Structure 1
């Protein structure tokens, strides 16, 4: 493969990840403005966030067939056009329904794009460089999230700033649309794109060598994913275990509700909460770059086990600290119901701050002194919690973030790779949908402390699963 084609492949894949990350992160800052303008209750806020995932789940059902039948390049081009259409709907929306439809269209496109880009790159590069190249997609995602958080901060005080937040996604989408047109088409049966070592590496990841000769062409159907032949069932189990662990450790909520979570733990203004989320984005980019460098040297399994262990510890510690905090973290949902008289983001944040502080500050004869102590304690806890969240984001970015999709791009034969990706992505998005749609409601019942404890326990279980089911690679 020529150098120019390689460069264009890297650019197209990274831009695809950038768009994906931007769409994931932008709702964090847009949600407070949307809540104020459209008077959204908790269920409506969750629906706004989850619409992206509903569209993505729909794409997962047919995406594998589309990718294997019409090729990776065509699928990416289609996703670009859909993202442009969805963005136009969002930026011109005048109703809650239009917002949900626009987000769902973009979610559909993002799912097609993510599957296509990872498979496309894995088939265009040699196995010894695959870890680096596929991880570039995750780098694009983290940069996109960072740019989204930065846009949230810059536009947080702008009237109807959410329209500009959504509209900025057009720029990288157009750039990818142009770059992908100069790349060759690939399909699941393209010759010369995947070497014989690819099959051998797939078998090693699954736990033992395939009985099939490397050069022998085998026809697979989606039903073969559930058969013991060539360890397909075990490969499928590993893929499902990784994506379910990835979602049920709560990372989607850290992305989607970053500003909301940070506000709940003490960042008592929209601007400060969004700015703190920018810090999370920066840490995520740095950690992903580290994973990109180490993926081919340290190994997928080692990064998954190490990162997931740190992730679980960080989640449990965050839950403990939220429990010790004097801030009431269970009122985030009920205080933002549409019956509230709050009419602007600024008023929302100011009144919310008063509610949270008043609910947790005792009234005594030493009111001023106790208030100073309480304020100092709140400041200390919020920054410690913020550091823990940075640790969680970093650990995810060197483990589940890039490694899950890298492993999935390697463990399945190329003839069925698109459909396998699609099948597993259905569970990935379905789990994401459950975790995201229930977050505010569950937090209102058990608080941030309880939900972070649950995520941490699941993280520990994921470490055990990875240790026993993945061989060292």
Structure 2
């Protein structure tokens, strides 16, 4: 769900008449958070850490596994997409699990899936085992993320709900950073990919052991008709009995309102719900079509294509993506109420488009479009030192066959400032090439990628689901977001499964230009179709959208 696409995804499933993304953190009007609420929120937020970690490690271990298993482009796409496929499956089937067995039991089940899937693809080194294991892990992390956000939102007092749900989002981006970092730490270690995969097991076991002792969510208990048990849990979590009766009545009122709406209403003209649904679907489609999931999943291979000469160097550079995501997410979370999601989306779309145009131009200039993203850059049947392996490149000619240049030839051509298009005068279509220029282009390419990641992290990452939580009425919001989330995962899966194939056919620069075009399409869509919600109540937003045709 990207992917980073999970950011704020389920915070729209709120249990009262306000949304945690849109309310400001006012001074507490009732009891604050007890220690039990804090422990429960931290334990549930480990789901974000695990999901982010699995997202971040993919690109680094891919470089190791494609050489170990001699993976083709299609197999690499399947390996990357298998986690997304598992997430899509659980997105379609997880609702009944959450509703029937509750959030806490769903967290326990998801922990077992993560541990079981990880052990499977570590114990058996084969493409089939890896793919199946990643599907199971994808199911576990997606179910865990949904259950965690629901659980946190339902146990938190209204005045602290936004803060506690944001903890999940922060843990997610920290997990992405850790995934990139651990991939680098084990990049040169024998079977380092197995250690990288295995590091998700400790937080999964920690969450499992803590959740066993946590109470069920009060909202789930009320839905099951166990009102008295829900009252007892609320007293434990609030620390005092004051305000508990009011909160209990709010929960009962919210459940009654949800029961008055049917799923089919989403596709009707009632209150303009069909147009709102199409707005949400279009927004999540553009979120994926701008390329962020592929940039994360294929970060290390992409960096190799723009000039980083070794797997370790490319993986190290990709750790910067995780750091940037953490740093960029913080101001977005703190300023969303003051600036508004629409402004963040506009600024992010412009920055993403410009950075992708720059990246496409840089890859054209450096001729890195001649390199294959999905082929290990090694020379078979030839003994080389580690340095030689890092200096070997594989180029493709116009007939799509490839020739390997030996390190000595590579160094000689680099020293002379020539390349494959050299006409014998020392010049080529891209100009004279030398080590200094190559390093400059490489740095500029990395900066362009980092700007792209930062722009996504302050805009599409957190803001898409802020908008989704605001454009749907309370009674049907959960079901609307579940439909949009399924479209989100399906689009993410489709784009990730075709990224390498498309790159091989049209080249890295053209793919970047395509993503840039989609970023500018996003800008136009946001300006024309997304309502300004800053400083407005959910009731005011809903009243406007009920009258306004958005499609």
TM-score by length of 1: 0.86
| CA distances 1:380-413 after superposition (whole Å, capped 9, x unpaired) | 1111111111111111111111222344345545
Q: What is the correspondence of 1:241-256 to structure 2 with a 5 Å cutoff?
A: 241-256=282-297
1:320 aligns with 2:361: yes
Q: What's 1:46 paired with?
A: 77
TM-score by length of 2: 0.75
Q: What is the correspondence of 1:1-400 to structure 2 with a 5 Å cutoff?
A: 2-125=33-156, 130-181=161-212, 182-185=214-217, 187=219, 192=247, 218-333=259-374, 335-336=375-376, 349-352=390-393, 355=404, 360=420, 362=422, 364=424, 373-400=433-460
Q: 1:324 to 1:108 in 2, by over 3 A?
A: same
Q: Distance in 2 between matches of 1:460 and 1:124?
A: 40
Q: Work out whether residues 135 and 292 of structure 1, in 8 Å CA contact, stay in contact via their aligned partners in 2.
A: yes
More contact order relative to length (CA 8 Å, sep ≥ 6):
1
Q: What's 1:204 paired with?
A: none
Q: 1:187 to 1:428 in 2, by over 3 A?
A: farther
| Shift of residue 416, structure 1, vs aligned partner | 4.5
Q: Work out whether residues 258 and 474 of structure 2, in 8 Å CA contact, stay in contact via their aligned partners in 1.
A: no
In our comparison, the structure showing a higher alpha carbon Rg is 2
| Shift of residue 243, structure 1, vs aligned partner | 1.4
Q: Distance in 1 between matches of 2:143 and 2:324?
A: 27
1:462 aligns with 2:522: yes
Q: Distance in 1 between matches of 2:320 and 2:118?
A: 26
Q: Distance in 2 between matches of 1:248 and 1:174?
A: 35
Unaligned runs of 5+ in 1: 200-213
Deviates more, 1:186-195 or 1:56-65: 186-195
Q: Distance in 2 between matches of 1:278 and 1:419?
A: 36
Q: 1:177 to 1:247 in 2, by over 3 A?
A: same
Q: What's 1:206 paired with?
A: none
How many residue pairs match? The answer is: 455
| Shift of residue 438, structure 1, vs aligned partner | 1.0
| CA distances 1:65-87 after superposition (whole Å, capped 9, x unpaired) | 32233333322222111111111
Unaligned runs of 5+ in 2: 1-31, 224-229, 231-246, 396-403, 414-418, 534-551
| Shift of residue 195, structure 1, vs aligned partner | 6.1
RMSD: 3.3
| CA distances 1:361-388 after superposition (whole Å, capped 9, x unpaired) | 7384769xx9994222221111111111
Q: Distance in 1 between matches of 2:98 and 2:147?
A: 7
| Shift of residue 13, structure 1, vs aligned partner | 4.0
Deviates more, 1:351-360 or 1:140-149: 351-360
- Secondary structure of the residue aligned to 2:532 is coil
Q: What's 1:209 paired with?
A: none
Q: 1:268 to 1:134 in 2, by over 3 A?
A: same
